[in-house]
Amino acid sequence: MTDTQTNQAAPPEAVDKSLWQDFRESDFFYAFKRSPVALVSFAVVCILVLSAVFAPLIAPTNPFDPASLNLMNGFTPPLEPNAFTGDAFLMGTDDQGRDVFSTILYGMRISLFVGASAVLFAMVLGITLGLVSGYFGGWTETIIMRVADVQLTFPSILVAMLIFGIAKGFTPVEYRDQMAIWVLILAIGLSDWVQFARVVRGATLVEKSKDYVAAARLIGRSPWAIMLKHILPNALSPVLVIATISLALAIIAEATLSFLGVGAPPTQPSLGTLIRIGQGFLFSGEWWILFFPACTLLALALSVNLLGDWLRDALNPRLR
Amino acid sequence: MTTPVLSIRNLSVEIPTRQGILKPVDRVSYDIAAGEILGVVGESGAGKSMAGNAVIGLLNRPAHIAGGEIRLNGARIDPLEGEEMRRMRGKEIGMIFQDPLTSLNPLLTIGDQLTETMLTHLPIGRKEAEKRAVAALDEVGIPGAKERIDSYPHEFSGGMRQRVVIALALCAEPSLVIADEPTTALDVSVQAQIIALLKRLCRERGTAVMLITHDMGVIAEAADRVAVMYAGRLAELGPVREVLTEPRHPYTHGLMASTPLASQGQTRLHQIPGSMPKLNYMPDGCAFHPRCPRAADKCRTAPAPTLTDGRAACWFPMVTEAAE
Amino acid sequence: MTAHVTVRGLTRIFDVSKPLLNRILERRGKAFLTAVSEVDFEIEERTTYALVGESGSGKSTIGKMLVGLLNPSGGDVEVEGVNLAKETDGDKVAEVRSDIQMIFQDPYASLNPRWRVRDIIVEPVASKGGDTKGLAEKLLEQVGLHPSDAGKFPHEFSGGQRQRICIARALASNPRLIVCDEPTSALDVSVQAQVLNLMSDLKDELGLTYLLITHDLTVVRHMADRIGVLYLGRLVEEADPETLFTDPKHPYSRMLLDAAPRMDGFGREVPPPTGEIPDPIDPPSGCAFHPRCPLAADICKAERPQMRLIGTSKVACHLAE
């Protein structure tokens, strides 16, 4: 065997490359650096997310602290000193004198939290059901995928409203406001798992037929070990794409529900709630109360969506 | 001397990538005469299919012809583009691919596909075309050609489908047929049928054939001359019997020695150490030198001589004792 | 020499029916495909037994049944004296199973692209809680790769090197029997030679037994000690390579040998074989080969031939002698 050895030897400098190193040398990172859309939308998402996370540090006032509010400051236009108090606000104030900029920062927190949690919930549910139906097939698959089909025939906002309504009915009145956020997450998540399940099932069917899965089966690995350790890592790229696009949709869904008055309560206003509040003042001339939250929602949803679109193109080997 | 049907001179194909410019085909030259079968042999990544695709103008961007010329019946075809290229390709070049389904339209009956092709490229009417379609299927050995003319491609077995593809490739009476691994997907017994068919039809019609394959056995039985490619370059070119029995290039020699023979018992196979260089890590000098038992300093620095008059692109070709 | 593997009456039937609703609408019954039909053979210890056949011959199905990826529909598989289909003692079966490994055809699909080579190679041992320290490095060296390759991912290797990694993984659990399903069909000739030589070396060194499944007669000639020729799920001839290649008894074996292209067959013009492999869902009556057989007589259509001993070969043909 000596003759084979000398010639198959790898270059000696080959040590375990770190994942970060691998990532920096990858085509993916290269494509990212060269795409202006990806760079800009990534930057916008980062800024928005960071400012939401660090809202208490950035926001000039805490809009939920009644002590910091001054009703006299109500309806101050942006960047103009208030006629009574002389205070100026970057984006003006609403009817109760809350700083719009601060409410946006805090509202974005809630929007992002609800959106991300809902997607995470949908992802876990969808991946599990997708893996199970793809791997086991048979009746399990038929039932799961039929339920998914049925759910797809309803608009997801309708499904979310339905779930929201049912859940609200079961919650005692005194807990309703506290539970609203969690019910919202449950409702949006449940209306969104189908896409994940379908994609993961498709990927599972492809991967299952490959020989590395056969190799794992023949050494006696359990179905769960094979699904989680072998198949799932290879099915993650489409999941990542869907998760990103779903995040944008979930944020919009949350805003829609809140706008319709069935979402986040006024005590914890999300971007959607703010838009609903602002809408009432649009025709009386206080445009800023609606305008700035709406712009923020647009920027957030658009940049996340563009990032998702770019991801899909970059991770799709057929387009490369 | 008559003009060869296909004449390739110093053909280079380049693919620009972020690691630099790759050269999957590097200054390759060969001719194919009418009625001749040229076997193009090499391992995967040797550039044999890429050269064929360059001839029919089917290079996928960003790959492009970067140099050299391709002449078909004396006329240059490498600068042709778009519609001109398509028309010339349909009329003058027939194509047979590994997977018959890629060359057949699944939505049309095979009769429609044959008549359409003939009507586009031959000065004949529909009646005549339909008659010829039946004759063409008959000729490639499809039983009951008259009835099967209205069948769809999926109604045929793999071997029968490849016969249909051959009929389709030959029906416009092209002067050149490019067969890219035509039998790789087929079983041994069907492969023998297809090769025999291809050989017979092209002999009869005087069609030039470029037979691209990795199977030395198929080359030995079917080809008149053989071009051995390695890492995008032509390693050896000559009459098939001479190249296979008395290879001059060390690569050809290694390839022949490492092919298991049915006539040998349980012996250890000769092996060429290492594997073909990747296009982005092409060694200096002769591309084969890191694996070559005869490599000298010259091979490591000077690029191998281009194949012009000699048979092997090698500084130190192997010469058998009889020839010395 | 004792038999390491004994296969008796091995049969596998696949249900290839359309879904229930389609069957009702089209008024069709269930459809069954007999991929393997009553196959008997024995593999002696430390030898290579080759199964040769074209597509649809059932050769891969037999391999999968041997390693336990598929359950037989009928018949017995006995390995190291344990009947894998009937044995009720789970520990005994598990013990025998861990002695059987497999090498697959496509080296690009048989390694998990997201795993490092080290984890791939030691998985058979690690999943059973065994000690894997330095194991991957040792095995990589044994198959002619560099120990430092353990930290790389599969995409950094060529096809031949990947097949070496597959061999290393197969060796990890110290198996005694390795089923090789077309191990070199996806490789180039020069790399095929490297892998075949490596397989022979390992067999001698470690005392392995191989079941080699392939369609390539020349590979078989080089590797096998005993060859079984399959046609449409049935074993039609079994012989040692010397006899099979010089004096094939079954008309199908003869046809296969004649049809295979030869390196020294310059301009060879032999009448190519006629016909194609029939539909396995609806195989011909009697001897499955009779519609393509030049010798076929009436008895061939009526009666399925049994395996007979002629000289040192076993042949399933009414007319062979």
Name chain A's partners: 3 or more CB pairs within 8 A: B, C
Q: Do B269 and C260 touch (CB under 8 A)?
A: no
Distance CA A174, CA A161 (A): 21
> Distances from the Cα of A95 to the Cαs of A284, A285, B38, B306, C224, in angstroms?
12, 12, 87, 85, 90
How confident is the model at residue A8, as a pLDDT? 40
Q: Decide if A128 contacts A192 (C-beta within 8 A).
A: no
Q: Is C174 on the interface with A (CB under 8 A)?
A: no
pLDDT band at A3 (very low <50, low <70, confident <90, very high): very low
A3 to chain B: which residues are within 8 Å by CB? 271, 273
Cα C29 to the center of its chain, rounded Å = 32
Helix (H, G, I), strand (E, B) or coil at B297: helix
pLDDT band at A16 (very low <50, low <70, confident <90, very high): low
DSSP symbols for A139-193: HHHHHHHHHHHHHHTS-HHHHHHHHHHHHHHHS-GGGHHHHHHHHHHHHHHHTTH
- C158, C261, C267 member nearest B215 (Cβ): C261
Q: Is A217 on the interface with C (CB under 8 A)?
A: yes
Helix (H, G, I), strand (E, B) or coil at B49: helix
Q: Decide if A90 contacts A78 (C-beta within 8 A).
A: yes
pLDDT of residue A117 exceeding 50, the answer is yes
Q: Is C80 on the interface with B (CB under 8 A)?
A: no
Q: Is C289 exposed, middle or buried (0-12, 13-18, 19+ CB in 10 A)?
A: buried
For an interface test with C, give the residue of B269, B278, B280 to mutate (most C CBs within 10 A): B269
Distance CA A12, CA A22 (A): 18
How confident is the model at residue B309, as a pLDDT? 56
Determine the distance in angstroms separating the CA of C6 from the nearest CA of chain B, rounded to an integer. Answer: 24
pLDDT of residue A303 exceeding 80, the answer is yes
Question: Does residue A123 lie within any of the structural domains?
Answer: yes
The H-or-E segment that residue C72 falls in is none
Amino acid present at B127: K
For an interface test with C, give the residue of B41, B44, B157, B221 to mutate (most C CBs within 10 A): B221
Count of CB atoms within 10 A of residue C42's CB?
16
Parts of chain B with a pLDDT under 50: 321-324
For an interface test with C, give the residue of B194, B241, B275, B288 to mutate (most C CBs within 10 A): B275
Residue of chain C minimizing CA distance to A14: C148
Q: What are phi and psi of A189, to 5 degrees?
A: -60, -45
Average pLDDT over residues A116-143: 94
pLDDT band at A161 (very low <50, low <70, confident <90, very high): confident
Amino acid present at A128: T
Amino acid present at B309: D
As assigned by CATH, the class of the C3-99+175-241 domain is: alpha beta
Q: Do B276 and C188 touch (CB under 8 A)?
A: yes
Condensed to tens digits (0 to 9), the pLDDT of residues B77-128 reads 888 887 888 888 888 999 898 888 778 888 999 999 999 999 988 889 899 9
Q: Decide if A68 contacts A85 (C-beta within 8 A).
A: no
Q: Do C197 and B271 touch (CB under 8 A)?
A: yes
Residue of chain B minimizing CA distance to C270: B196
What is the side-by-side order of every strand in the sheet holding C32-44?
A: C32-44, C3-15, C74-79, C82-83
Residue of chain B minimizing CA distance to A30: B18
Q: Do C222 and B44 touch (CB under 8 A)?
A: no
Q: Do A3 and B271 touch (CB under 8 A)?
A: yes
pLDDT band at A319 (very low <50, low <70, confident <90, very high): very low
How confident is the model at residue B310, as a pLDDT? 64
- C158, C221, C255 member nearest B260 (Cβ): C221
Q: What angle do CA C274, C277, C283 make, to 5 degrees?
A: 125
For an interface test with B, give the residue of A3, A5, A7 to mutate (most B CBs within 10 A): A7
- The DSSP call for residue B276 is P
Count of CB atoms within 10 A of residue C15's CB?
9
Is the bond preceding residue B24 a cis peptide, omega within 30 degrees? Answer: no
Q: What are phi and psi of B21, to 5 degrees?
A: -90, 125
Contacts for C111 with CB less than 8 Å, ≥ 6 apart: A212, C117, C120, C154, C162, C165, C166
Q: Do B275 and C161 touch (CB under 8 A)?
A: yes
Distance CA B8, CA B167 (A): 26
- B189, B196, B276 member nearest C255 (Cβ): B189
Paired tokens of B38? 């040229």
> Distances from the Cα of A2 to the Cαs of B138, B274, C143, C145, in angstroms?
56, 13, 10, 11
Average pLDDT over residues A12-19: 54
Average pLDDT over residues C290-310: 91
In CATH terms, the superfamily for domain B6-107+152-259+269-323 is: P-loop containing nucleotide triphosphate hydrolases (3.40.50.300)
Q: Is C246 on the interface with B (CB under 8 A)?
A: no
Paired tokens of B52? 């064929």
Selected residue with higher pLDDT from A155 and C72: C72
Q: Do C263 and B43 touch (CB under 8 A)?
A: no
B254 to chain C: which residues are within 8 Å by CB? 190
Q: Is A8 on the interface with B (CB under 8 A)?
A: yes
Amino acid present at B244: L
Q: Do C113 and A15 touch (CB under 8 A)?
A: no
pLDDT of residue A313 exceeding 60, the answer is yes
- C219, C223, C263 member nearest B220 (Cβ): C263
Condensed to tens digits (0 to 9), the pLDDT of residues C47-98 reads 999 999 988 899 999 999 999 899 999 999 999 888 888 888 888 888 888 8
How confident is the model at residue A317, as a pLDDT? 54
Paired tokens of B40? 């193009």
- C112, C145, C164 member nearest A212 (Cβ): C112
Determine the distance in angstroms separating the CA of B83 from the nearest CA of chain C, rounded to an integer. Answer: 37
Residue of chain B minimizing CA distance to C144: B274
Q: Do A8 and B271 touch (CB under 8 A)?
A: no
Distance CA A102, CA A56 (A): 9
B62 to chain A: which residues are within 8 Å by CB? none
Distance CA B95, CA B105 (A): 14
How confident is the model at residue A14, as a pLDDT? 44
Selected residue with higher pLDDT from B2 and A219: A219
Q: Is A312 on the interface with C (CB under 8 A)?
A: no
Q: Is C100 on the interface with A (CB under 8 A)?
A: yes
Name chain C's partners: 3 or more CB pairs within 8 A: A, B
| Alpha helices by DSSP H, chain A | 2-8, 19-25, 27-34, 36-53, 55-58, 100-136, 138-152, 156-170, 176-190, 193-208, 211-218, 223-225, 232-259, 271-279, 288-315
A-C CB pairs within 8 A amount to 87
**What's the predicted TM-score (pTM) here?**
0.86
B218 to chain C: which residues are within 8 Å by CB? 261
pLDDT band at A316 (very low <50, low <70, confident <90, very high): low
Q: Do A4 and B271 touch (CB under 8 A)?
A: yes
Q: Is A2 on the interface with B (CB under 8 A)?
A: no
For an interface test with A, give the residue of B17, B18, B270 to mutate (most A CBs within 10 A): B18
Distance CA C111, CA C34 (A): 30
Q: Do C148 and A12 touch (CB under 8 A)?
A: yes
Q: Do C219 and B270 touch (CB under 8 A)?
A: no
ipTM of this complex > 0.85? Answer: yes
Q: Is A318 on the interface with B (CB under 8 A)?
A: no
**Contacting C residues, span 55-84, partner chain A, CB-CB under 8 Å:** 64, 67-69
Q: Do A6 and B273 touch (CB under 8 A)?
A: yes
Determine the distance in angstroms separating the CA of B45 from the nearest CA of chain C, rounded to an integer. Answer: 10
Contacts for A238 with CB less than 8 Å, ≥ 6 apart: A199, A200, A203, A315
pLDDT band at A6 (very low <50, low <70, confident <90, very high): very low
B291 to chain A: which residues are within 8 Å by CB? 7
Amino acid present at A11: P
Determine the distance in angstroms separating the CA of B11 from the nearest CA of chain A, rounded to an integer. Answer: 27
Q: Do A30 and B18 touch (CB under 8 A)?
A: yes
Question: Does residue A115 lie within any of the structural domains?
Answer: yes
Spell out the long-range contacts of A54-57 with Cβ–Cβ below 8 A and sequence spacing 24 or more.
A55/A102, A55/A105, A55/A106, A55/A108, A55/A109
For residue B107, which of B152, B168, B137 has the smallest C-alpha distance? B152
- Percent of chain C surpassing pLDDT 90: 60
How confident is the model at residue A5, as a pLDDT? 37
For residue B237, which of B323, B286, B308 has the smallest C-alpha distance? B308
Paired tokens of C78? 């006995």
What is the side-by-side order of every strand in the sheet holding B233-239?
A: B93-96, B176-180, B208-213, B37-41, B225-230, B233-239
C55 to chain B: which residues are within 8 Å by CB? 187
Helices A138-152 and A193-208, interaxial angle, to 10°?
A: 150
For an interface test with C, give the residue of A219, A221, A222, A240 to mutate (most C CBs within 10 A): A219
| Alpha helices by DSSP H, chain B | 48-55, 82-92, 100-103, 110-121, 126-139, 145-148, 158-170, 188-205, 216-222, 240-245, 250-258, 297-301
Question: Does residue A143 lie within any of the structural domains?
Answer: yes
pLDDT band at C15 (very low <50, low <70, confident <90, very high): confident
How confident is the model at residue C169, as a pLDDT? 95
Condensed to tens digits (0 to 9), the pLDDT of residues C98-108 reads 899 999 999 98
| CATH label of the domain that carries residue A128 | 1.10.3720.10
Domain total of chain A? 1
pLDDT of residue C9 exceeding 50, the answer is yes
How confident is the model at residue A320, as a pLDDT? 37
